[in-house]
Amino acid sequence: MTQSIQLHTGTVKFSAGKAFQTKHGDRINVVITLANGEETKLWGGPDDAALLALKKGQQVQLMRDTKGYKLIAEAQPEQAPQASPASPQTPAGNNGKRLPQPWSDDERERSQARLNNTASCSNTAMTK
C-alpha cells in the first residue's frame, strides 16, 4: 500500500471561534479554502495555539495524507525589507495595524511535532 502525501496552499475563510461539544470533547475548528476551491475544516482542542493563531484571510500550507489535512505552517510572504522595531511600518489598507510576523524555524518544528502527536484529530473535507 502506497502512502501519498500532498502539499496544498489555502486561505483561512473562518478563524477559530467558540468551542463545540463533540464526542471527542470540546473542539474548535478553522475553515480553509484551498487553491482549487475545495473547503476543509481543521479541528483541534480549545487550547490548540496553532489553530487559534490563524486569522481570516491568512495564507496557510496544509499537508494531506490518508487521514486528512494537517496544518504545516503559515505560508511565507515574499521577503521585504524589515522595519526596525522602534519604527514599525504598517502597510496601507491595513488600518494601521502591524502584520503578524512569520513563524520561526523553532515554532514551525514545535507545531509540526504537535501535529504529528495528534493522531486523534478529526479532519473533515467539504465541497462547495
Which residues lie across from 3 on neighbouring strands?
none
What does the alpha-carbon distance between residue 45 and residue 49 come to, in Å, rounded to a whole number?
9
Assess whether pLDDT exceeds 90 at residue 1: no
What does the alpha-carbon distance between residue 60 and residue 76 come to, in Å, rounded to a whole number?
8
CATH of 1-75+109-128, one of 1.10.3470, 1.10.760, 2.40.50, 1.10.1740: 2.40.50
pTM of the model: 0.54
Span of 18-22, 67-71, 96-100 with lowest mean pLDDT: 96-100
What does the alpha-carbon distance between residue 56 and residue 11 come to, in Å, rounded to a whole number?
8
What pLDDT is attached to residue 73?
63
Assess whether pLDDT exceeds 60 at residue 8: yes
The region that residue 5 occupies, defined by phi over 0 for left and psi between -120 and 50 for alpha, beta otherwise, is: beta
Residue with the three cell numbers 463533540: 22
Mean pLDDT calculated for residue range 24-51: 90
